[in-house]
């Protein structure tokens, strides 16, 4: 029975050497299963306490393995999702992008609908998916934004009131993210936060080049 204990320790050692968390958890389970005969027959009495804890660790690892496998499933995009990812959100991994998109509210605005009001606290970050938006400062048009451009990104990044109004020109389809929901996602998913900072920075740079 000592051989089972030695084998289990070798498997635990191997789990410490692998970099992939999935293999670490798999080796931990194999090590736990290998220890079961030792806990049952290796001593005069059954070692119930370590056997019970071994069962708890195995269940935890099985649950985490299931979560890892779900996260690693191949991502299948719709045509709309693929276009959006390739043209705007390429800095995000496909599954992170889908998690972000799941928070969006896809809407359609008619001509001359106000999407954003100047001087107000930003409640939603907008992305134009189809159509055009007019940016107005003090009732004077200063820019026009087409598809794949964000609206309200500066206020989102700085936390300051909006510096301009935004009006739909013709039928405009856009995605809207609650700022509060985005910040909550960023707190849980740092990789999404860093990716979005890169994406919004690229969007701002594009607008500055267009104005120069």
Mind listing the pLDDT tens digit for each residue in 86-95? Answer: 999 999 999 8
Is the pLDDT confidence value at 124 over 90? Answer: yes
Of residues 192, 197, 202, 194, the one with CA closest to residue 93: 192
Higher pLDDT, 112 or 10: 112
Confidence check: pLDDT of 210 > 80: no
Contact 108, 172 (CB under 8 A): yes
Alpha helices in the chain (DSSP H): 2-17, 21-41, 48-71, 79-87, 94-101, 153-158, 179-188, 190-211
Torsion on CA atoms 122, 193, 88, 92, rounded to nearest 10 = -160
180 CB burial (10 A radius; 0-12, 13-18, 19+) = exposed
C-alpha span between 88 and 95 (Å, rounded): 15
Domain ranges in the chain? Answer: 2-71, 79-211
Does the structure show a pLDDT above 80 at 70?
no
**157 vs 97: CA distance, rounded Å:** 19
pLDDT in tens, 143-195: 999 999 999 999 999 999 999 999 999 999 999 999 999 999 999 999 999 99
In whole angstroms, give the CA distance from residue 14 to residue 189. Answer: 29
Instruction: Flag whether pLDDT at 142 surpasses 80.
Output: yes
Note the pTM of the prediction, 2 decimals.
0.71
79-211: CATH number: 2.60.120.10
Q: List the single range of 8-22, 123-137, 143-157, 180-194 with lowest mean pLDDT.
A: 8-22
Q: What DSSP state is assigned to residue 160?
A: P
């Amino acid at each position: 029975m000592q051989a089972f204990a030695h084998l289990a320790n070798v498997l635990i050692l191997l789990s410490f050497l692998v970099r992939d968390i999935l293999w670490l958890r798999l080796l931990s389970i194999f090590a736990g299963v290998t220890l079961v005969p030792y806990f049952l027959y290796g001593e005069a009495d059954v070692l119930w306490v370590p056997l019970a804890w071994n069962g708890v660790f195995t269940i935890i690892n099985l649950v985490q393995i299931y979560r890892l496998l779900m996260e690693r499933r191949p991502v299948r995009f719709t045509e709309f999702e693929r276009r959006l990812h390739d043209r705007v959100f390429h800095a995000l991994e496909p599954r992170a992008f889908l998690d972000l998109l799941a928070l969006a509210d896809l809407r359609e605005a008619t001509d001359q609908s106000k999407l954003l009001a100047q001087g107000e606290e930003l409640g939603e970050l907008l992305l134009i998916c189809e159509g055009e938006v007019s940016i107005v400062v003090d009732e004077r048009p200063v820019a026009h934004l087409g598809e794949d451009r964000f609206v309200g990104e500066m206020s989102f990044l700085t936390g300051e009131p909006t510096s301009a109004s935004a009006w739909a020109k013709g039928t405009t389809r856009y995605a809207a993210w609650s700022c509060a929901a985005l910040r909550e996602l960023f707190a849980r998913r740092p990789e999404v936060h860093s990716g979005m900072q890169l994406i919004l920075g690229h969007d701002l740079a594009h607008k500055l080049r267009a104005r120069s």
